[in-house]
Amino acid sequence: MTNTAPDQEWWTTDALAASGLPDVPATRQGVDALAARLDWRAHPTRARRRQGRGGGWEYHWKLLPPRAQRKLITASIAPAARPERDVIWAWFETLPVSAKTRAYDRLKLVQQVEALDRVFGRDQAVREVARISGQGARTIWGWLKQIDGLRADDRLAYLAPRHRAATAIGAKVGRALDCDPRFFDMIKSDFLRLAGPSFSTCYRRAVRIAKAEDIAMLPERTMRRRLDAAVSEVTQILCRKGIDAVKRLYPTQVRDKSALHALEAVNADYHKFDVFVRWPVERGQTEPQYVGRPQMVAFQDIHSGRILAWRIDQTANSTTVLLAAGDMIEDWGIPHHVLLDNGREFAAKSVTGGAKTRYRFKVREDDVPGLFTALGCEIHWATPYSGQSKPIERAFRDMCDNVAKDPRFAGAWTGNRPDAKPEDHGSRAIDLEEFVRVVGEGIEEHNTRVGRRSEVAFGRSFAEVFDESYARAPIRKATEAQRRLWLLGAEGLRAHSRTGEIAFQGNRYWADWMNDIPGDRVVVRFDPADLWSGLHVYSQDNAYLGHAPTLDRAGFFDMEEARVLARARRAWLKAEKEAARAHRRYTAADLGRMLDDVSPTEPAAPEAKVVRATFGKAGLPPPAPPAPATPDLDSAHAALVAEFEARRAARDAKATPVAETSRELFRRALDLEQAIARGAPVTRDQRRWLAGYQTHSDYRAERRLWDAHGDAIFG
């Protein structure tokens, strides 16, 4: 070792804990334990009592472990390069509060030294601050060296405990172990499958292949950490749980309904109650009374949340939808926007016929316009299997507790899941008239309950919010003539034959992408209250083509905001699919072929280690040992083979086989077993027959007799 000494020769336990030296613990308690274990205080010239306030012990640097000594000498000869400002501040932000507090304390001591330097000089100032603070003078000199030449506003980050920096500020670290890339690819390809195998199983399969092909491997926990670091959580969910699971990870769109007014937008859906209801028997009906769970269609005002109309029937059908819609229009008026579920009962032609965006049933040019289409309502379809797309689902969830569990329905409640049926399930059914009365009370209570916390209620009830907005909102009332206008409503438009522009309501709409649709028939969606906001253009098969021009503000039915979100999600899903495809280098078929290549052709036959003893058979001769092969035995074997071949030929020709007794069948099986034991050739059919016969109860019984008495059983 060189004779060069480090800059700091004596160290306190706190200074050693904060030094970051190799093989030196990072806590004062750990340094004290190391000093006690190595008996540092037994060296009178290298351990001494510390002078100054606080006392304690100081240790010479030559008592430190060898690697720590080399680090001190190297640092004194060639100081490490100072990290960049951006790097050190980025690292400083990641430190815990305790480390940042120590950096602040060090900065205060440095500032005290600089304040006393003007009066006493640097050396005396350091000694005085060390005496007052209890820190070592060499430690303070080290801090001054760390910030030498730095800007005053950068000192804090450079004074932080450096033993926490490690790789964050460029310190050298040991090279991580590595494995063959093919081993990692096999694990990822096997793990990232929809079958969802466990990581341990995939690792074991990869190890089998790697051992056969002499591929470098790493431990299972290491490979799991490597996979989690290389493959994102989203990609793992995409590969193992499918696209629907990934979609749930993307934030949903939050729509603002405060810009709406009463009856500007309504939404409707069906709800199936968890209550058994008995329908009345109609006059002349011979079938028994129908008992089942009723379904209710309801229309809700989106702005306020009030239930406007509802009807109950045995099943979901378009007739009930029309009756409930008629009640809503008759009592309140015609809505501007209608958000409907995508079920067939709402897509029926009597309800939405003539709406070109309908994607249920076949759309024809001569379709009779449905109710909402004829009244000029703009129809919107909820996303399939997406409850958050329909605000009324929240009201239905409230009714599951407020209405379905009403005490007057005790015994008729069915439970909300197949595995959550009450003990009194099916013990009672509610008459339809009573059920309708209780549901009406529940809906009225739902509408008038105060304390609602929506963005428009502010503690009021749904009914109060609706009444306030309804009194000052433009409401369209239906006339007698409108109730008979089945031929009115929105219809498809044709783009200009040369430019692709669309003329609608006296306005002209165009965008550069519309040069690709000249002369095509298209369907437009628009806000009737703001035609200047532009049109959303769709093809006849409901494929979105584009917008002309762009909307400036986003309301509840702002199609542009919805399309922006959809495009972002599609791009996100596309990137994740590409990442998943890059990780799955091997297909399941490739892994299967690799496993087949390393699997043994035939499993090794087990060797019997226990011989069954025979007791109480003194009067019977022992079984004769098998005789060596002789020409006579070979001819007998050839005759036996010929006999089996003849019997097989007779069976193939559908000849009537000669009936054999169980003893004769066992004798034939025994001859085959002895021939196999001698290594004599046996056909595949003989082996197949023997394997099947050995599973029969007759064989097991005859075998026990032969084991006990030998060939004497054959007479």
Instruction: Say what the pLDDT of residue 480 is.
Output: 56
Q: How far is CA 193 from the centre of its chain?
A: 13
Of 335, 341, 342, the residue nearest 303 (C-alpha) = 335
Domains 10-169 and 181-247 share a fold: yes
Are 451 and 305 spatial neighbours (Cβ–Cβ below 8 Å)?
Answer: no
- The residues spanned by each domain of the chain are 10-169, 181-247, 265-472, 492-557, 631-714
The class (CATH top level) of 265-472 is alpha beta
Question: Structure tokens of 409?
Answer: 């329905």
Fold classification of 492-557 (topology level) = SH3 type barrels. (2.30.30)
Are 356 and 470 spatial neighbours (Cβ–Cβ below 8 Å)?
Answer: no
The Cα 516–Cα 584 span in angstroms is: 39
Question: Can you tell me whether residue 478 is helix, strand or coil?
Answer: coil
Q: Per this entry, what is the length of the chain? A: 715
Q: What is the pTM of this model?
A: 0.42
Phi and psi based region of residue 488 (left: phi greater than 0; alpha: psi -120 to 50; beta: remaining): beta
Are 432 and 278 spatial neighbours (Cβ–Cβ below 8 Å)?
Answer: yes
Question: Structure tokens of 362?
Answer: 């076949």
Order of all β-strands in the sheet with 47-49: 10-12, 57-60, 47-49
Instruction: Say what the pLDDT of residue 172 is.
Output: 43
The class (CATH top level) of 10-169 is mainly alpha
Instruction: Say what the pLDDT of residue 489 is.
Output: 32
DSSP category for residue 99: H
Instruction: Say what the pLDDT of residue 555 is.
Output: 47
* Secondary structure E strands in 428-506: 430-431, 493-494, 502-504
H or E element at residue 538: strand 535-538
Instruction: Say what the pLDDT of residue 487 is.
Output: 29
Instruction: Say what the pLDDT of residue 192 is.
Output: 92
- Mean pLDDT per 10-residue run, the chain (715 residues)? 63 84 86 87 83 77 84 63 79 87 92 87 89 89 87 88 55 55 91 92 92 88 90 90 81 70 88 89 65 91 90 85 83 87 72 61 53 78 68 84 85 79 80 91 91 86 91 78 39 78 80 83 63 73 69 47 64 78 78 75 55 50 52 59 67 55 84 86 85 84 83 77
Rg, Å, the chain Cα set: 44
β pairing state of 493-494 and 291-292: unpaired
Phi, psi of 317 (to 5 degrees): -150, 160
Fold classification of 181-247 (topology level) = Arc Repressor Mutant, subunit A (1.10.10)
Instruction: Say what the pLDDT of residue 436 is.
Output: 92
Mapping DSSP onto H, E and C, the string for 129-157 reads: HHHHHCCCHHHHHHHHHHCCCCCHHHHHH
